[in-house]
Amino acid sequence: MKPHLSPSQISTFFKCGMQWYFRYVKGLKVPPGVALLTGKAAHKGAEVNLRAKLETGAALPLGAALEAARDELVASWANEPPVVDSGLLPEAAKGDAIDTAVALTELHHLKVAPLIQPTAVERALRLELPGPYDLEMQIDVEEANGVIDIKTKDGKSPSPGTAEKSTQLALYDLARKVEGHPTHFVRLDFLVRRARGATYEAQAAQLTEDDHRRALDRVDIVARSIQAGIFPPAQPDSWACSAKWCGYWENHCPHGRRQAVSAQVPLAANG
């Protein structure tokens, strides 16, 4: 079986090729951020509820969904202690993360899940491609006519048009078409943490063959770059190129922590 890429790998590569290199070539894992563990826990709360709805026709009791999110956060925190950059002590940060995961799960359970009729939850599938890599993906939620991906955000609303521009959704949409189950819509369900509570914002789109082609072009660019050993770093003024958002920035990446360097600049020859 050929090696594979995933939508998350494609996203990582375009955010910063050096991050991809350190993670998937060098095999270096760095501690996750608190937001990553919080989002993972909220996903688990939504997943167990929607899986119950799929299998039994009835939603899971709210308390059970909240407990699943809480347990996921506690287990993830123990297995991979995160980087705490909020100024809080670790236990206080953990308590805040639990509260956030529970609040996002409750929002999804009460406001979002009742609108969904799932036909599959967290289904893994493989898309065979003609190049050196296939694609492996796992779709959060599928309905008869569409796919839904659950996202968590802290504070800010998503940018307009995010769903239409999403390479991840385009690849999901293409995979469904190849399977013979084309979608009528793709949707991002955003669970947004705010100072006064959590809010739900959805973005839906109908994608075309041009969207599929653009997504496959990106897969091809990543595949060719990997084979050529080319791993372009993020722009130095990018939010991704910082100690807060990149665990490799401080100690591993030559494009990361700023150091005093000297460079010999060739002088132009006189007239």
Q: What is the DSSP string of 242-255?
A: STTT-TTTTTT-TT
Report yes or no on 236 lying in a domain: no
Residues 96 and 165 in one domain: no
User: Are 66 and 105 in contact, with CB atoms under 8 Å apart?
Assistant: yes
User: Are 115 and 189 in contact, with CB atoms under 8 Å apart?
Assistant: no
Report yes or no on 126 lying in a domain: yes
Of the residues 95, 115, 135, the one at which a domain ends: 115
Q: Give the predicted TM-score (pTM) of the model.
A: 0.90
The radius of gyration of the chain from alpha carbons, rounded to an integer in Å, stands at: 21
Q: What is the pLDDT of residues 182-209, one digit of tens each?
A: 999 999 999 999 888 899 999 999 999 9
Report yes or no on 138 lying in a domain: yes
Parent domain of 102: 31-115
Of the residues 98, 115, 132, the one at which a domain ends: 115
Q: Which residues pair with 149 in a beta bridge?
A: 188
Of the residues 64, 85, 115, the one at which a domain ends: 115
Report yes or no on 142 lying in a domain: yes
DSSP 240: T
Q: What is the pLDDT of residues 16-45, one digit of tens each?
A: 999 999 999 999 999 998 999 999 999 999
